[in-house]
Amino acid sequence: MVSLPRVVVAAPASGQGKTTVATGLMAALRARGLKVSGHKAGPDYIDPGYHALATGRPGRNLDPVLCGEELIAPLFAHGAAGADIAVVEGVMGLFDGRGRTSFGSTAHVARLLDAPVLLVVDAASQGRSVAALVAGFAGFDPRVRVAGVILNRVGSAWHEEILRAALDDLGVPVLGALRRDDGVMTPSRHLGLVPVAEREGPARHALDRLGAVVGAAVDLDAVLRLATSAGPLPTAAWSPEAALAGSSRPDPNHPVDTTHPADTCHPTRPADRVGGPDRPDRRPVVAVAGGPAFSFSYPETAELLAAAGAEVARVDPLRDEALPPGTAALVLGGGFPEMHVADLAANEPLRADVARLARSGRPVIAECAGLLYLARELDGQPMCGVLDASAGMTGRLTLGYRDATAAADSVVAPAGAAVRGHEFHRTAVDPPHSRDPAWMVGDRPEGFVRGSVHASYLHLHWAGYPELARRVAEAAAA
Active site residues: 368
Burial profile 326-353: b = 16 or more Cβ within 10 angstroms, e = fewer: ebbbbbbbbbbbbbbbeebbebeebbeb
- 3-state SS track over the chain: CECCCEEEEECCCCCCCHHHHHHHHHHHHHHCCCCEEEEEECCCCHHHHHHHHHHCCCCEEECHHHHCHHHHHHHHHHHCCCCCEEEEECCCCCCCCCCCCCCCCHHHHHHHHCCCEEEEEECCCCCCHHHHHHHHHHHHCCCCCEEEEEEEEECCHHHHHHHHHHHHHHCCCEEEEEECCHHHCCCEECCEECCHHHCHHHHHHHHHHHHHHHHHHECHHHHHHHHHCCCCECCCCCCHHHHHHCCCCCCCCCCCCCCCCHHHCCCCCHHHCCCCCCCCCCCCEEEEECCCCCCECCHHHHHHHHHCCCEEEEECCCCCCCCCCCEEEEEECECCHHHCHHHHHHCHHHHHHHHHHHHCCCCEEEECHHHHHHCCEECCEECCCCCCCEEEEEEEEEEEEEEEEECCCCCCCCCCCEEEEEEEEEEEEECCECCCCCEEECCEEEEEEECCEEEECCECCHHHCCHHHHHHHHHHHC
Q: Whose CA is closest to 399, among 107, 32, 91, 125?
A: 91
Distance CA 115, CA 232 (A): 10
Alpha-carbon dihedral sign for residues 415, 416, 420, 426: positive
8 Å CB contact between 7 and 223? yes
Do 45 and 57 contact (CB within 8 A), yes or no?
A: no
Asked whether 192 and 46 are in contact (CB, 8 A), the reply is: yes
